[in-house]
């Protein structure tokens, strides 16, 4: 009998470098993720992530937001492009656009984002600098379901890193990005296995409400498995 697992259809949206996309592609190629990336779509024609996708043989598309008169028109066109691939999951991987309510509602429960802070701390931009200026001892990244509140949806998993004395935002960003590359594939795998759901603005894991996000500390996979 074939042991091939059912793979869920995924579309990934990017705007830039695409290092999270690369981590997802790598995990898929290793056989750690039961997904098929049907397409990668960028709102920026020069996004480096498009080349990463093309190299992996994934269909790429560009939809330049600057060619649309309004946010609503862009999001509507984007939705049409995405839905041609009939994704069961839509992954925002460094997609630097605020989304309309209509768009978010359309994908509710199957829309994930990664944000470079320990949400609910520091929604929005310049998160690394803000964490340093606040003299936090810890920083990190969060994978969350997207809801209508910007960077406000329930958090599934966080990667935590220590802030060292004298850290610059660039140094800190690098360490945070490293942790992002662990937590995003993990959350996507849970979703693909049917273990994650969004219900009443909460995360359900194996049908049970999660009161706290899972925590991943760099180089500490055992921690994650223990918490699971």
Applying CB under 6 A, the residues found at the interface with ligand GAR are: 14, 16-20, 49, 93-94, 114-116, 141, 177, 180
β-pairing verdict for 155-162 and 214-217 = parallel
Q: How far apart are CA 116 and CA 20, in angstroms?
A: 12
Q: Which is nearer to ligand GAR, 129 or 204 (CB)?
A: 129
In the sheet with 208-209, reading across from the earlier edge strand, the strands are 196-199, 202-205, 208-209
Q: Which two tokens stand for residue 15?
A: 């705007």
Contacts 24+ apart (CB under 8 A), 58-67: 58/25, 65/97
**Omega before 120 cis (within 30°)?**
yes
CB of 126 to ligand GAR, least distance (A): 10
Closest approach of Cβ 142 to ligand GAR, in Å?
9
What is the set of active-site residues? 115
CA 114/CA 95 separation, integer angstroms: 9
Q: How far is the CB of 223 from ligand GAR (least distance, A)?
A: 21
Of residues 70, 47, 178, the one with CA closest to residue 116: 178
CB of 51 to ligand GAR, least distance (A): 12
| Closer residue to ligand GAR in complex, CB, 100/225 | 100
For residue 207, the minimal CB distance to ligand GAR (Å) is 28
Identify which of residues 3 and 64 has a Cβ nearer to ligand GAR in the complex: 64
SS3 72: helix
* CB-nearer residue toward ligand GAR: 14 or 196: 14
Query: Scanning the structure block, which residue is given the tokens 């397409």?
Result: 39
What value does the CA radius of gyration of the chain take, rounded to a whole number of Å?
A: 17
Q: Measured from the CB atom, is 118 or 196 closer to ligand GAR? A: 118
> CB nearest ligand GAR: which residue?
94
């Amino acid at each position: 009998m074939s042991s091939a697992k059912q793979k869920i259809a995924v579309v990934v949206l990017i705007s830039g470098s695409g290092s999270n996309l690369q981590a997802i592609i790598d995990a898929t190629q290793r056989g750690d993720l039961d997904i098929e990336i049907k397409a990668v779509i960028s709102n920026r024609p020069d996004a480096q992530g498009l080349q990463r996708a093309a190299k992996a043989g994934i269909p790429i598309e560009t939809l330049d937001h600057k060619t649309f008169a309004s946010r609503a028109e862009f999001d509507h066109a984007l939705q049409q492009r995405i839905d041609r691939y009939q994704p069961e999951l839509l992954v925002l991987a460094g997609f630097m656009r605020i989304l309309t309510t209509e768009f978010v509602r359309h994908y509710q429960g199957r829309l994930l984002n990664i944000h470079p802070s320990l949400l609910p701390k520091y929604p929005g931009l310049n998160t690394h600098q803000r964490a340093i200026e606040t003299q936090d001892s810890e920083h990190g990244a969060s994978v969350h379901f997207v809801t209508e509140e910007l960077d406000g949806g329930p958090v599934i998993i966080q990667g935590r890193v220590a802030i060292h004395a004298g850290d610059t935002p660039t140094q800190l960003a690098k360490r945070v990005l490293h942790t992002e590359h662990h937590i995003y594939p993990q959350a996507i795998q849970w979703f693909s296995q049917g273990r994650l759901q969004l219900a009443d603005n909460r995360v359900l894991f194996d049908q049970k409400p999660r009161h706290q996000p899972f925590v991943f500390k760099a180089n500490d996979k055992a921690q994650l498995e223990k918490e699971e």
